[in-house]
Amino acid sequence: MLYASQLRTENYWEYGIIANNILDGKGYSFNFTDQDLNFLNETYPSALMPPGYVFFILPFLLIKDIVFRNFLVFLIQIGLQILAIWFSYQMLLEKWGKLAALICLVLLCFLPDLIFACISIGPTVWFQFLLTMILWFYRKNGKTSWLVLGLLAGILILMRSESIIIVAAIAVLHFKRSGLKFTFLFGSVVLLFLFPWVYRNFKVLGIGRISNNVGINFYRGNNAGEIGDWPQGFDKTYYLLRSKPETFEVKYDKYAFDRSITYIKSNPERWIWTLPEKLFRFVVIDWPDVRTHQVLYWFPWFICLIFGFIGIKLGGIILKEELIILLLFTTVMVVFFPQIRYQTMIKFFFLPFSGIGLAHFFNYSNEMLKSKEI
């Protein structure tokens, strides 16, 4: 907290803007910006971000002392990640053994981007904690209540909307293992938990969805410019959509999606070549982001990556749930667009494989040394 100078930050990104608008009596809304990207007082009804992290951060904004406020937020996030690390350690200890679990424990505790995730604003740590808890309870072989799993899954989706595909995969796995009744009850709890938010969006925005950023994020990964570019704004179409704030977000999201589809149809070969680039930037290193140039970031990750693939070959069947999560999340990033924080988010579930690979390497090295001694 002290080293990263985050204790004095007032930048809570979209989450803080929406939360402040709620406190100001403007409802769940977001602000328009001018051409210099300065936020204006004019707002529009929003579902830009799902409400999970917004509602987490909201009560802390009532605390006027910024340092104390951030200290509490980061302290909770540190606690959540410590819990996630402990449960991850316990699962790998049971599934593979002590050496792999200890190596994974060290990696989870000391990789710089995982540490920084605790002391930055965003749902990364919540994603890691909730998904770890879902895996933990899922592996209780049916002893866990479908109610607990359903609530955890519902909160996870409201923290990160793309998590819905992971929850769907877990439901399929549950169906194969526990049958229709458990899966139906689990799915019903998830749907009931999401219903108030989806219903609100239907009533206010005219469309029942979890978040209004699918089109924008799709455009950012599939456009005529660079990967990560935002849709063009402040043109005639933008101002026409902006003239009706109550429908702006839904129509602008559709506008961005339609522009992206038009680009793909017009440039299929160029678009196809961006897919392996996005895969490399997500899995290996997002080099255009200067933060990835630091040796403390890329060197340990390259080691983890090499041994992680070995670990997948050795333990992919044992940790099939983690492998499914990695494959699904990677697919989403290739379809949309990669960012360093997305890699940090999912890296937590890759490191158990790195632990397995490194443990195998150490055991093999020890055996070789003993054979030479003999």
pLDDT tens, 263-292? 999 999 999 999 999 999 999 999 999 999
- Flag whether 246 is in a domain: yes
The C-alpha atoms of residue 136 and residue 176 are separated, in whole angstroms, by: 18
Contacts of 325 (CB under 8 A, 6+ apart): 131, 166, 169, 346, 349
Report CA-CA distances (Å) from 87 to 44, 235, 325.
41, 50, 17
Q: Is the pLDDT of residue 346 over 80?
A: yes
Question: Phi, psi at residue 327, to the nearest 5°?
Answer: -65, -45
Q: Is the pLDDT of residue 43 over 90?
A: yes
- Flag whether 3 is in a domain: no
**How many domains does the structure of the chain reveal?**
1
- Flag whether 6 is in a domain: no
Instruction: Work out the percent of the chain whose per-residue pLDDT is above 90.
Output: 87
Q: Is the pLDDT of residue 371 over 90?
A: no
The mean per-residue pLDDT over the stretch 240-267 comes to 95
The mean per-residue pLDDT over the stretch 289-311 comes to 96
pLDDT at residue 234 in the model: 87
pLDDT at residue 140 in the model: 80
Report the sign of the C-alpha dihedral through residues 14, 20, 26, 28, in that order: positive
How many CB atoms within 10 Å of residue 120? 20
What is the tens place of the pLDDT at every residue in 134-170? 999 998 865 678 899 999 999 999 999 999 999 999 9
Among 106, 111, 105, smallest CA distance to 300 is for: 111
Q: State the residue for tokens 């339609």.
A: 258
The mean per-residue pLDDT over the stretch 62-68 comes to 96
- Flag whether 8 is in a domain: no
Q: Is the pLDDT of residue 372 over 80?
A: no
The C-alpha atoms of residue 82 and residue 320 are separated, in whole angstroms, by: 23
Question: Phi, psi at residue 24, to the nearest 5°?
Answer: -85, 5
DSSP 286-355: -TTSGGGGSHHHHHHHHHHHHHHHHHHHHHTTTTHHHHHHHHHHHHHHHHS---HHHHHHHHTTTHHHHH
Look up the domain containing 136 and give its range.
13-373
pLDDT at residue 2 in the model: 81
pLDDT at residue 354 in the model: 98
Angle at 165 between CA 175 and CA 119, to 5 degrees: 120
Ramachandran sector of residue 59 (left: φ over 0; alpha: ψ -120 to 50; beta: rest): alpha
The mean per-residue pLDDT over the stretch 170-198 comes to 91
The mean per-residue pLDDT over the stretch 294-322 comes to 95
The C-alpha atoms of residue 257 and residue 231 are separated, in whole angstroms, by: 9
pLDDT at residue 141 in the model: 64
Pairing between strand 39-45 and 29-33? antiparallel
**Helical packing angle, 124-138 and 163-178, nearest 10°:** 0
How many CB atoms within 10 Å of residue 272? 10
DSSP 130-199: HHHHHHHHHTTTT-S-HHHHHHHHHHHHHH-TTHHHHHHHHHHHHHHHH-HHHHHHHHHHHHHHHHHHHH
Model confidence band, residue 357 (pLDDT cutoffs 50, 70, 90): very high
The C-alpha atoms of residue 357 and residue 156 are separated, in whole angstroms, by: 29
- Flag whether 237 is in a domain: yes
- Flag whether 347 is in a domain: yes
- Burial pattern 255-268, b for ≥16 Cβ within 10 A else e, equals bbbebbeebbeeee
- Flag whether 5 is in a domain: no
Question: Phi, psi at residue 42, to the nearest 5°?
Answer: -70, 130
Among 138, 118, 140, smallest CA distance to 127 is for: 118
Instruction: Work out the percent of the chain whose per-residue pLDDT is above 70.
Output: 98
- pTM, two decimals, is 0.95
- Flag whether 253 is in a domain: yes
pLDDT at residue 374 in the model: 61
The C-alpha atoms of residue 105 and residue 115 are separated, in whole angstroms, by: 13
